[in-house]
Amino acid sequence: MYCVIMAGGSGTRFWPLSRKNNPKQLLNIIGEKSMLQITIDRLLKLKKIEDIFIITRSDLAPQIKEHVNGIPSENIIIEPEGKNTAPCIALAALRIAEINENATMGIFPADHLVIGYKEFEKAINSAIHIAKNNQGLVTLGMEPTFPSVAYGYIQHELKNIKDHSNAFRVKAFAEKPHLDLAKRFIKSKDFLWNGGIFIWNVNIFMNSLNKHMPELYDSITMIKQCINTGENYDEIWNNISPESIDYGLMEKSDNIYVVKAKFEWSDLGSWNIIHEISPKNKQGNSIIGDGMIVEGNNNFLRSNGQFIALLGVDNLVVVGTDDAILVINKERVEEVKKIVEYLKDNKEDLL
C-alpha cells in the first residue's frame, strides 16, 4: 500500500492560530509535534518512508517540504490550487498509478487525532484485504460516542460481509446533521462517524471516477498527457470544479464498504474539540500558555504570547497570538468562518 496524506487545507476554523501560510496541519496543537508529523509517524509504523506521499497546494508546498523530515521531494504532490478532496485524491491516484496502476492506496487526512495504534493497524489491514478481495472502495467509520453535529455519518447494512465481523456494505452517507437527527442516528445503531480515511485499488478508483465523475476523470487524463510530455497543466486544473470525494463519488457508487474502527478518533475540527481533549480544572477551564481565569467556568484559553486574563465569564473560547485575539462563545465556534470572510475583504494580512 502507498499512503497519501492530504495536507493542503487552510485550517480557517483554527484562526487566529492557523494562518494561510502556517495552517492547522503544521501547528503543534496537541503536543510537541505538528499534526502532519504525528500523522507521518503513525504511517511509518505501517510503511517505509518512500511509500508515503503528501499532497498539498502549491503556495503551501515550500513550508511542507521544509517541515517534513525524510519524505523524498518527488513524493510531494502539488496541486496548483486547492479544489477540495475529489480532485486532490484523483491527482494523487495519478501519481501512484505512475508507479503501479494496480497498487493499493490509502488516503489519510493530515490533521486527525488517532489514539490506539494497534486498533488503527487492524482496521487498515482489514480495509486493504476488503479492497483487494471485493473490488470495492473502502472507508473507515468510527462508532459514535455521542450525537455529534460536527461530523458526517455513514449508514451501513446490519449484516457484516464474509470473513470480516467489523466490515459492512455502505447504504448511505449523511452530511453533518442537526442534533435531533444525530440522536436518531445514534439510536439506530447502524450509523458511524465518517473518518475521511479511504483504502482502494488505484485502478478500481479510476474506473469509478470515470463512471461517476467523468468530467474530473477527463481532466485527470489530460493532466496525465501533460505530465508525460512535460507540459504545464495549470489551466486544465484551474477549470476543474471543486468537489468533495464523498459527494462526488462515494455517495454515487454501489461498491462501497466501511470498516468499523475501534480506535479513538477526532478530526480536531474546532476549538471546542481541543477543549474537550485538553486538561481541565474543577471549573472545566483549560489554559494553554500564559493566562489566568478567575470566577469562570467551562472556558478555553490559549495564548501564544501575551498574558490573557478572564474574570467572571463562562463558556468562552479565547485564543491570542501576537497580532490578533479571538473571543467567541463556545456555542458559536463553528462561526469563526464569518470572521475569516470579513478578513478576506478587509484585513487579508491577518489570514
pLDDT in tens, 133-179: 999 999 999 999 999 988 999 999 999 998 899 999 999 999 999 99
**254 phi, psi to nearest 5 deg:** -110, 5
| Residue 337: predicted pLDDT | 92
Confidence of residue 276 (pLDDT cuts 50, 70, 90): very high
Output the pTM of the full model: 0.94
| Residue 22: predicted pLDDT | 92
Write the single-letter amino acid at 255: N
Query: Which among 73, 77, 75, 112 has a CA at the least distance from the CA of 198?
Result: 112
Residue range(s) of every CATH 3.90.550.10 domain in the chain: 2-266
pLDDT of 55 above 90: yes
The distance of Cα 226 from the centroid of its chain, to the nearest Å, equals: 29
| Residue 150: predicted pLDDT | 86
The residue-averaged pLDDT of 289-298 equals 97
**Per residue in 335-347, pLDDT tens?**
999 999 999 999 9
Q: Which residues pair with 201 in a beta bridge?
A: 104
Q: What percent of the chain has pLDDT over 70?
A: 100
Return mean pLDDT, the chain.
95
Distances 84 to 38, 64, 242, 243 between C-alpha atoms, Å: 23, 18, 5, 5
The residue-averaged pLDDT of 82-90 equals 97
Q: What percent of the chain has pLDDT over 90?
A: 92
Contact predicate 123/259, CB 8 Å: yes
The residue-averaged pLDDT of 255-266 equals 96
| Cα within 13 Å of Cα(308), Cβ side | 24
| Residue 47: predicted pLDDT | 96
pLDDT of 32 above 90: no
Fold topology of 2-266: Spore Coat Polysaccharide Biosynthesis Protein SpsA; Chain A (3.90.550)
Other CB atoms within 10 Å distance of the CB of residue 312: 8
| Residue 324: predicted pLDDT | 96
Tell whether the torsion through CA atoms of 322, 304, 108 and 47 is positive or negative: positive
| Residue 51: predicted pLDDT | 98
pLDDT of 280 above 90: yes
Strand 264-266 versus strand 113-115 pairing type: antiparallel
Grid cell of 338 as nine digits: 464569518
